[in-house]
Amino acid sequence: MADPIAFCITELDDGGAERALVRLVCGLPRERWDPAVYVLSGPGPLAGDLERAGIPVQGLGVRSAWDLGVVGRLAQALKRRPPKLLQTWLYHANIAGRIAAWHARVPHVVAGIRVAERRSRWRLWADWLTSGLVERHVCVSASVAAFTAKRVGIPRSRIVVINNGVDVEPFRRALPIPRAELGIPGQGPLVISVGRLDEQKGLPDLLAAWQLVAERVESARLILVGDGPLRNLVQPPPERVHWLGRRNDVPRLLRTCQVFVLASRWEGMPNALLEAMAAGMPIVATHVDGVRDALRDRHDGVLVRAGAPRELAEAIGAMILNADLAARYGESAARRAEREFRWEAMIAAYDALYRELVSGRVDPKRVS
């Protein structure tokens, strides 16, 4: 009989972290695991993918970050369907989930740490204060693991590294979108950035860099995909910048463009970067946690300092103007995505960790 297992996530919007959880839950062997998913907010747009796979999803109706009643609602849900293990995903779910699991007497709790949090010290303090309620902390990259041990103070013996994954095939097979369908005139090079319009993703740095790129390559255009709190910076879009909002055809958009850029100020291991690698795109990104674990500088792309728009602009311009070098980087990135970051490897690693914890036979080699 399959063991009941529970997952708790802050929300199920169509973002990289949320899609990763859905892929993990749907990919676990059903003869071994009987999953259920709890969402602090409402079910969200990705809930349908889980429900079509026969996985129950329950929204807990959180009203704000200070809705402490969600902990009790989650604890009650866990008592009604007692799991052998709870996996939490994203910061608010990590904190609420571990407290609820303690109240519900869940035997094993695993937290997912998806970013080296550099915006809020109180988040790090809250994570440390409640970390004793967690058996294992899964970090998405070696850099995030090092940050978690040093800055949060979690012992290395309770940290596990499991890299994010990417479904290579859709990005390899995708066909470009005609420019006319996107409303982009001309024939010049297209540079694309996919991600949340947020301080973390370095949108102000990217827009400042793009002004310099546009002066150097007048025909180039920047495509932005995503939404977020800094949308006012692209409403209306600056000259030669096209904001497409959220899209469900990212593989085709990547295949339409010539260069991918990621200007993040801090990261974990960005799904958008792995997707660009899978698409075989020439990449310019910042040298931050997680990114430097996935992308080798001057092998699979070019890494520059975070918060340095001029360096970012120079690297983007060089990639646009040197097609042969760009092609070599793109080919190398695609091979690395295929070799190191497939979904199947990520799912297998979580499955093995869960089996070890539930059985009580933990492999000491698995800890960071």
Can you tell me the distance from the alpha carbon of 262 to that of 238, in angstroms, rounded to the nearest whole number? 18
Can you tell me the distance from the alpha carbon of 330 to that of 281, in angstroms, rounded to the nearest whole number? 4
Written as one letter, the residue type at 143 is S
Question: pLDDT at position 62, please?
Answer: 87
- In this structure, the number of other CB atoms found within 10 A of the CB of residue 136 comes to 24
The values of phi and psi at residue 362, to 5°, are -90, 130
Question: pLDDT at position 367, please?
Answer: 56
Taking the model in full, what pTM does it have? 0.92
Please answer whether residues 260 and 282 qualify as being in contact, where contact means their C-beta atoms are separated by less than 8 angstroms: yes
What are the structural domains, with CATH classification, of the chain? 3-165+342-366 (3.40.50.2000), 168-340 (3.40.50.2000)
Can you tell me the distance from the alpha carbon of 367 to that of 21, in angstroms, rounded to the nearest whole number? 21
Minimum mean pLDDT range among 19-28, 32-41, 218-227, 354-363: 354-363
Can you tell me the distance from the alpha carbon of 93 to that of 132, in angstroms, rounded to the nearest whole number? 16
pLDDT in tens, 277-333: 999 999 999 999 999 999 999 999 999 999 999 999 999 999 999 999 999 999 999
Can you tell me the distance from the alpha carbon of 7 to that of 85, in angstroms, rounded to the nearest whole number? 9
pLDDT in tens, 91-148: 999 999 999 999 999 999 999 999 988 877 888 999 999 999 999 999 999 999 999 9
Sign of CA dihedral 195, 255, 337, 5: positive
